[in-house]
Amino acid sequence: MALPFLFEFWAHPHQLPPEGAWRSWVVLGGRGAGKTRAGAEWVRSMVEGARPRDPGRAKRLALVGETYDQVRDVMIFGDSGILQSSPPDRRPHWEASKRRLIWPNGAVAHTFSANDPEALRGPQFDGAWADELAKWPKGEDTWDMLQFALRLGEHPQACVTTTPRNAEALKTLLESPSTVVTRAPTEANRAHLAASFLEEVRARYKGSALARQELDGELLTDIEGALWTHALLDECRDANTGDFDRVVVAVDPPVSGHAGSDECGIVVAGVRMTGEVQDWQVHVLEDASIGAASPRTWAERAVEVYHRFQADRIVAEVNQGGALVEAVVRQVDGAVPMKSVHASRGKVARAEPVAALYEQGRVKHVPGLHKLEEQMCRMSLKGYEGKKSPDRVDALVWALTELVLDGQGGAKPAVRTL
C-alpha cells in the first residue's frame, strides 16, 4: 500500500524539485500537467520525517492561492491536493476555524489569499507553496509580503505552481537568479487525462496563443508599444483560404550564408477581392523562412514556394545583396517573375502601415505561423526587441506592401483578373 505514496517512484521529471540552493522553484505547465500534485508532494517532502511523528525539514508553511476557497478546494481538498496525496498515517488535520493544516508531527501550514496580502505581515515561515501566482489579483504585493515572511530555518524555500500568464509578479520572479524553473505541456500528464479532452482542446485551439499558454505552458508577453499583440494575432487566425486574385512570395535575404548569419525571411501572402475596389482581404499563407542558408539554398526554397502556390512573382529586398539577389534566383529558375525592392525607410516605419491593416481586420493568418508571429510581437515603436534581425517580419511587410499598400501608404490593392 505504500507504493502509491512514493511520489519519486512515478513522478514526471518536471514534478520533482531541481537540485541546488534555489530560493524559489517555479513549475510552469499547461492545464492538467500535474502542477497541483507537484506542489502538494513538495509540501509533503518538506514537512514529513522518516516516520509519521518524526520532524521534517519545515515546521511552519504558508499555502497561498488566489482566494481562500481556492486554497481549500484545490490545494488542500482537491483530487491532487495535500490530503489526497498523503498516506493515512501522515495525513494532516484540517482546522477550518483557523484555516490551517496540522500534521501528526506538529508541522503546521497556514492558508492565505492573494486578495489580502496584509495577512502575511507578521507571520513567519520556513516554506511556502504558492498556487496559480499568475492569476493573483494583488500578485506583486502578495509575493513581496510572502518573501518577508520566509525567514525561518536555514534555507526557506517556496514552490510556485502556475499556468503562465503575462503577469508582472511572475515575470519578475522568473528573472530572479535564485529561481529555478521546470516546464511541461498538458500532454506530459496524458496518462491521467481523458483522451477526448486532449483531442478537443488541441483541435479547437490549434495554432493559437491561448494554446501555447494554457496547453504548452509558454509565457507569452506583449512588450510596451508592440505593433502586434498575441491577442490581435489570435483574432486574425483563419484556416479557410480558397482562391486568390494575386499571390506573392516575399524574400528578405541575409547578407551572408554562413552558420552565424541571419535567417532568410520567406513569406507567402495572397489577396482576394470580394466586391467593390476597396473590399478585399489578405491571407498570410506560409512562413517558409530558412536559417543559416547559402544563397543557393534560400533561392531554391523561394522558387519552390513560388511554384507550389502558383504565385505571381517573387518580391525580394536587395539593399544588402544588390544585383546578386536577383542573379542567384535566376540561376535556380530564369523564368520566375521578380521585383526588387529597396528599404528607404526604417523597419518600424515600414511595418506601421502593415500593422494598421491588422487592426482594421484586413489580414488573416493560417494556423501554424508561430515563429513569424513571435517576431511580430517583438516589433515595437522603439524597434525590434529580439535577437538578431526580424527577417520573417521584414518579408511579411514586403509581401503586404506589394499586395495592398502599393508603395503609397494607403490600402490600394493591385489585383489581376484570373
Q: What is the reported pLDDT for 418?
A: 28
Beta strand 127-131 with 60-65 is parallel
| Phi then psi dihedrals of residue 192, to 5 deg | -110, 15
**Per residue in 185-219, pLDDT tens?**
888 888 778 888 888 888 877 767 677 778 888 77
The Cα 185–Cα 214 span in angstroms is 8
Whole-number average pLDDT of the chain: 87
Per-residue pLDDT band at 50 (split at 50, 70, 90): confident
Closest by CA to 27, choosing from 40, 14, 37, is 14
In this predicted structure, the answer to whether residue 155 has a pLDDT above a threshold of 70 is: yes
In the chain, the percentage of residues whose pLDDT exceeds 70 is 91
Is the pLDDT at 414 greater than 50, yes or no?
no
163-177, 205-219, 321-335: which range is least confident on average?
205-219
Q: Of how many residues is the chain composed?
A: 418
Q: Average pLDDT, stretch 344-372?
A: 91
Is a pLDDT exceeding 60 seen at residue 260? no
pLDDT given for residue 412 in this prediction: 45
pLDDT at 168: 82
CB count in 10 Å sphere of residue 155 = 11
More confident of the two residues 64 and 89: 64
Long-range Cβ pairs for the range 291-294 (8 Å, 24+): 291/262, 291/263, 291/264, 292/257, 292/258, 292/259, 292/260, 292/261, 292/263, 293/254, 293/257, 293/264, 294/257
Cell of residue 149, nine digits: 515572511
Answer yes or no: is pLDDT of 322 > 70: no
Q: Which pLDDT does position 109 carry in this prediction?
A: 97
pLDDT of residue 33: 85
- Whose cell is 516589433? That residue is 379
* Across 268-275, average pLDDT: 86
Alpha carbon distance 40, 192 (integer Å):
16
Question: Does the structure show a pLDDT above 60 at 43?
Answer: yes
Average pLDDT of span 124-137: 95
Is the confidence at residue 256, as pLDDT, over 90?
A: no
Beta pairing partners, 182:
27
Cell of 38: 507537484
CB 94 within 8 A of CB 76: yes
Q: For cell 499563407, what's the residue?
A: 285
Query: Pick from 160, 141, 291: which is nearest to 219 by CA?
Result: 160
Higher model confidence: residue 240 or residue 130? 130
Specify the 3-state DSSP secondary structure of 94: strand
- Whole-angstrom CA distances from 152 to 56, 124, 243, 273, 314 are 14, 7, 67, 68, 66
The CA distance from 256 to 262, in Å, is: 8
- High-pLDDT (> 90) share of the chain, %: 55
Q: CA-CA distance, 392 to 397, in Å (whole number)?
A: 9
What separation in angstroms does the CA of 355 have from each of 202, 226, 345, 360, 406?
Answer: 28, 10, 16, 9, 15
The whole model's pTM is what? Answer: 0.62
Interval 172-188 mean pLDDT: 90
| Residue 320 CB burial class (10 angstroms; 0-12, 13-18, ≥19) | middle
pLDDT computed for residue 2 by the predictor: 60
Q: What is the residue whose three cell numbers read 544588390?
A: 322
